[in-house]
Amino acid sequence: MLTVANVSKTYSGKKLFIDVTTSFAPGNRYGLTGPNGAGKSTFMKILEGALEPDDGTVSRPRKTAYLKQDHSAYNEHTVLDTVMMGNAALWEAMVERNTIYESGDESDEAGMRLAELEGVVAEENGYMAESEAEELLQGLGIPAEFYQTQMSEMSGGNKVRVLLAQALFGAPDCLLLDEPTNHLDLDTIEWLEEFLYSYSGVLIVISHDRRFLNDVCTHIADIDFETIITYPGNYDDMVRTKGAVRERQVVQNNAREKKIKDLQDFISKFSAGTRATQVQSRKKMVEKLAPADVKRSNIARPFIRFDIARESGKHVVDIQDLAKDWGEGPLFQHFRAHVNRGDRIGIIGKDGMGKTTLLKMMLGEYPVETGSIEWGHETNIGQLPQEHEGAIEPGKTIDRWLHDFKPGADLEDIRGLLGRMLFRGDDGLKATATLSGGERVRMLFCKLMLLKHNVLILDEPTNHLDLEGCSALAEGLAEYKGTLFVATHDRTLLTESCNRIWRIKDGEILDFAGNYETFVERYGH
């Protein structure tokens, strides 16, 4: 059991939690939700002990594991050792045992200490440690040839996978995962879900992947106006429950307001007459019938709609014999495809297989050395790159930055567009240099909506979006009348937005005419 008692936390002058008391039970899988800025990651750091609350206490199981965020902390260790370090008691016993053996100390004291250490190793299932670590690495997509590689030599995405394996290692009693599906391909997400289904401890997970939360979670712990409310069921169940509770409260308030009006009419009519006792009675009833306060919902969904200014021709792009090789074997070769207006193509494949490379070749950012890419008549391409830190010019307010792309637009219309993407009130005057990752993505979507392209090329567009932003994006792309190319690991986005799949695997691109669910039924991930 993980328990939180009277925890409060203020961060950068903002009250995130006030006197929160809750508990998380073994066998339950909790999704920790709330809008960007609500304090999800802060609360997770408090749970894991990396951050102290201002007030209150946290009681956690002895073996509490969490997904480390410092990707360079284990650079001096091998991949396999890094995973096994997830069980601190086992790792410390193994290191001390090896030190004694290497020292050649044959004293009675050393022998007694070795016996104690062997007991710890046995208790922690240490004789199966390497095989367990290897199984986790294999499931998370790390090939065996990397197990003895130094972490400093691993790519950023693979470091995340190794640290995730570390968190899962050693049967922890409590598992805290902040965005564990980041950098995971679809096969690996499915493997992780299967692993978590069989996990018997306390699981608390933050994720912007709605399908992951719906598939994995038995409960949702929702950060709601400085406290945490736990709902049974998955994320969609929680949203329905919150909506129903709010709707009931609104109905009850309407009924109370009608009753109050009737009573006030009676009071006005007879206050100067002979029915003073009845008037006083009704005044007391009015006081008791004050409507309950209905809080504004913390579920804030942007409104994303991509219109087009002018249709492209029927034939959007023709790709012939396209190939790309960075010198380590082909990413893909002999790829041919013809794309018509209105096709919505989801591009899938493991990280490093060439999804971003393909999109950059289509955009002309990488040269086409073998084959050809010919764009059709009247195509007007808008893009969202995967790396967008430098995509918004500093030194401006966000409304002026957006207005510069379409100087003829009315500034009030610009602010209306910003409002649809949750930049409200004076937010339009915020400096572009101060934007968070999520705010930058929403700004780039504002730009795409403003310019009304008839072709969109989006590379991992759900990065930095919260759950409601991801849902709004899927709905907006499903309604889009132009042509879409989107590289993503988000299964909800693929299912709701795409009518064609390009899968990159083993140096080939498979072009499947059909939706994602049909693709999975036929080919798997």
Section 387-400 average pLDDT: 85
pLDDT of residue 31: 96
What confidence tier does 207 reach under pLDDT thresholds 50, 70, 90? very high
Measured CA to CA, the distance from residue 114 to residue 93 in angstroms comes to: 9
Section 456-463 average pLDDT: 93
Where do runs of H (alpha helix) occur along 198-310?
210-216, 235-270, 276-288
Contact 403, 411 (CB under 8 A): yes
Question: 412 is written with which tokens?
Answer: 């009030």
| CA–CA distances in Å: residue 157 to residues 153, 202, 350, 352 | 12, 26, 11, 9
**Is 438 in a helix, a strand, or coil?**
helix
- List pLDDT tens digits, range 216-264: 999 999 988 778 989 999 999 988 888 766 666 656 666 677 777 777 7
Tell me the sheet residues that pair with 324.
332
Section 364-381 average pLDDT: 95
Section 413-431 average pLDDT: 88
Question: 243 is written with which tokens?
Answer: 């909506």
Mean pLDDT of the chain: 89
Measured CA to CA, the distance from residue 309 to residue 383 in angstroms comes to: 16
Measured CA to CA, the distance from residue 120 to residue 85 in angstroms comes to: 15
- The pairs formed by 255-263 with CB atoms below 8 angstroms and a separation of 24 or more are 256/289, 256/290, 256/291, 257/291, 259/289, 260/286, 260/289, 263/289
Section 423-436 average pLDDT: 86
Backbone dihedral region for residue 334 (phi beyond 0: left; psi -120 to 50: alpha; all else: beta): left
Q: Which of 56-65, 235-244, 278-287 has the lowest mean pLDDT?
A: 278-287
Where do runs of H (alpha helix) occur along 49-139?
79-84, 88-103, 108-123, 129-139
User: pLDDT at residue 135 above 90?
Assistant: yes
- The alpha carbon of 273 is separated from its chain's Cα centroid by a whole number of angstroms, namely 65
pLDDT of residue 295: 56
Measured CA to CA, the distance from residue 411 to residue 419 in angstroms comes to: 12
What confidence tier does 145 reach under pLDDT thresholds 50, 70, 90? very high
User: pLDDT at residue 102 above 80?
Assistant: yes
Residue spans of beta strands (DSSP E) within 165-201: 174-178
pLDDT of residue 251: 61
What confidence tier does 424 reach under pLDDT thresholds 50, 70, 90? confident
Section 390-410 average pLDDT: 89
Tell me the sheet residues that pair with 229.
222
- Classify 315-523 by CATH class: alpha beta
| CA–CA distances in Å: residue 361 to residues 324, 355, 457 | 9, 10, 11
User: pLDDT at residue 422 above 80?
Assistant: yes
pLDDT of residue 299: 65
pLDDT of residue 371: 95
User: pLDDT at residue 282 above 80?
Assistant: no
Q: Which of 165-174, 199-208, 389-398 has the lowest mean pLDDT?
A: 389-398
Percent of the chain with pLDDT over 70: 93
pLDDT of residue 252: 64
User: 156-168 and 129-139 are packed helices; what angle lies between their axes, rounded to 10 degrees?
Assistant: 130
Q: Which residues contact residue 354 at a Cβ distance below 8 angstroms, ignoring those fewer than 6 apart?
A: 324, 331, 332, 504
Section 284-312 average pLDDT: 75
User: pLDDT at residue 364 above 90?
Assistant: yes
What confidence tier does 497 reach under pLDDT thresholds 50, 70, 90? very high
pLDDT of residue 111: 85
pLDDT of residue 34: 86
User: pLDDT at residue 297 above 70?
Assistant: no
Of 72 and 287, the structure prediction assigns the larger pLDDT to 72
Kindly state the greatest CA–CA separation across the chain.
106
